[in-house]
Amino acid sequence: MRFDNHRVVITSAGRDFGRTLAIRLADLGAEVFLSARGLAAAERVRDEFRDRGHERVHAFTCDLTDPASIREFASAVARRTDRVDVLVNNGSRYLEGPDLLSATDADVVDTMASGGTGTVLAVKNFLPLLLNSDKPDVVTMVSACGTPGHHRSDAHDAFYAAKSAQAGFTEILSRRLRPQGVRVISLYPPDFDNADPLTEEWDSAPRQSTDNLTAQSLVECVLFAVTQPRDCFIKAFHFEQV
The more confidently predicted of residues 53 and 131 is 131
2 part of a folded domain: no
Cβ atoms 185, 137 nearer than 8 A: yes
User: Which of the two residues, 1 and 111, has the higher pLDDT score?
Assistant: 111
Question: Can you give the pTM of this predicted structure?
Answer: 0.96
pLDDT tens, position by position, 51-92: 999 999 999 999 999 999 999 999 999 999 999 999 999 999
**Is 113 part of a structural domain of the chain?**
yes
Residue 52 lies in a domain: yes
Tell me which long-range contacts 18-24 makes (C-beta under 8 A, separation of at least 24): 18/88, 18/90, 18/91, 19/45, 20/194, 20/196, 20/197, 20/215, 20/219, 21/88, 21/90, 21/218, 21/219, 21/222, 22/49, 22/57, 23/48, 23/49, 23/197, 23/198, 24/197, 24/219, 24/223
What local confidence, expressed as pLDDT, does residue 187 receive? 98
User: Domains in the chain: how many in total?
Assistant: 1
Dump pLDDT digits (tens) for 157-197. 999 999 999 999 999 999 999 999 999 999 999 999 999 99
Note whether residue 1 is domain-resident.
Answer: no
CATH number of the domain bearing residue 212: 3.40.50.720
Decide if 207 contacts 216 (C-beta within 8 A): yes
Q: Print the domain residue range for 16.
A: 7-238
* For residue 1, pLDDT beyond 90: no
In a domain, 122, yes or no: yes
Q: What is the pLDDT of residue 241?
A: 86
